[in-house]
Structure formats: structure tokens, C-alpha cells
Amino acid sequence: MATGRSSAEFTAALRNREQLIGYWSLLDSPIAAERLARVGYDYLAFDAQHGLFGYQGLLNNLLATDTKGSTAVGMVRVEANDLTYIGKALDAGATAVIVPLIDTAQDAADAVCAVRYPPLGRRSYGPMRAQLRIGPDPADTHEQTAVLAMIETADGLANVEEICATPGLDGVYVGPSDLRLAIGGASSTDPSVQDEFEQALTRVREAAETAGIAAGIHNADGASAARRLAEGFTFATVAADVVHLQHIATSHLQAARGEAR
């Protein structure tokens, strides 16, 4: 299987707080995933929480990510902090899981427990496709599989230092839409809470740095991702295929009509 970067290389880079850039996918389109995996991104993140994926779709898109010419590994935002959801994503071959709605250090510990086999955790053994990418041995899996906790709620922000200090947690990932709502925004893009939002991002970033784990954030576009990386986030995602498809189709329609943009 000719991929540009192995799970071992990616996870090591993530844990070393090297800068990584990914792309977010909501659409169940393996052909699109196969093309996106060749662009040069470090990872493709498939959204099983809000995206349009069933399990077969998730599996097919992870397979497409690992085709010849790919530079990316597959990452999955799972539906919930649940042993079954996390295990199925990992068994399908995800290199990393993003776990939503982490409010406390105990939530983070539960997520870590779900990605580790006994005696370190509670993941049930049955790696199916994952053993072809990483191998069947639990030690290799633990070395090469990452778990990321989403910080997107008022409680998650309040407890972010304790969350980041959770043993075995590889990083945190800011969900900006929910976080902006959590700090009092009237909408997911409300500019009236921008100062509070930036303060929240600084707190998350600094908590991760102190704990020595990765700090990631979701972004609407590449320019925003570049800004956040320059500020000190260690990985950033550009989002998302369904939105960008509409944007580029609209721009071409306007150009064809001779309309000003």
C-alpha cells in the first residue's frame, strides 16, 4: 500500500507537536477522498458526528485515503465518546479519532481508555482492517493510534488544563462554532464575542503547550488555518468539502454570467 505517510510517522509528528494540516470531509464520496488524499494534506478528517457517513461509507473513504499517491492518513470524528463508536472507527483503519463534547478530565480519560487495549484500556480486540495498516499487536497500535479531545463547551474550556493533563491524551481540538456559542455568541460566527473567543483559544493553546500535547483547530479556509498555526496551534484543519463545493460552483456560475464577485 503506497501511502505518503504512515500512521507511525503521522502519530509521531502529532505527538512531537509538529505542524500538520488537514482537510475536513462531510460527504460520503470515496472518489473525492481519493483525489483529496493526493493534494498534499497530512490528514483527511471524516466527520461521523455531523457528516453524511454511515459505517460502510466511513470504511470506503478510509480505504480511498490509503490509495497510491496519497500523502494523508485518515482521521475520524466519532459520533460520541463511546467505546463502540471509537472502536469501530479504529478497526476500520483510522489513524486518529477526534472525540466530541469532552467536558472533564474524566471524559478525556474515558476516550483514552476506548483507544487502548487491556490492560491499559477497554478497547475490544478485533482490528479487522486496522491490522493491515498498523499490525495486530496492541503495542504497535498504541504507538501509532492517536486520540484527540474536542474543546467546544463551557465546561470543556473551564476544565481545559485538567483535560490536557490526562495521561495518554495526544491532543485537543477546538470546535470553534460550538465554542463561540458556549461563551455567549448568538450564532456560530457572532463577532460580538470575538475578544472572548480569542481569549478562549489562547487558553486552550497554552494549556496544550504546558501539557506537551498537540493543539488543533477547525478553520473555514486556508488563510485562517495559516493564522492559527502562526499563533501556536500545532495542527489545523481546512473545512469542508460540501461548503467548498458550493462556493466554487457559485464562483464559476457568477463568472459565466459575467457577474461581479
Helix orientation angle between 83-91 and 105-115, rounded to the nearest 10 degrees: 40
Burial 130-147 (b: 16+ CB within 10 A, else e): beebbbeebeebbebbbb
- The active-site residue, picked from 50, 244, 247, 252, is 50
Q: Cell numbers at residue 79, please?
A: 459520533
Q: Catalytic: 252?
A: no
Q: Cell numbers at residue 238, please?
A: 481546512
Short-list 219, 213, 216, CA closest to 233: 216
Strands 20-25 and 235-238 come out as parallel
Residues 6 or more apart from 58 whose CB is under 8 A from it? Answer: 28, 46, 48, 76, 89, 92
**Residue tagged 490492560 (cell numbers):** 119
CA–CA separation, 18 vs 2, rounded Å? 23
CB 238 within 8 A of CB 225: yes
CB 116 within 8 A of CB 46: no
CA–CA separation, 161 vs 72, rounded Å? 30
How far apart, in Å, do the first and last CA atoms of the chain sit? 43
CA–CA separation, 236 vs 229, rounded Å? 7
* Amino acid identity at 23: Y
Q: Cell numbers at residue 150, please?
A: 474536542
User: Across-strand partners of 229?
Assistant: none
Q: Which residues are catalytic?
A: 50
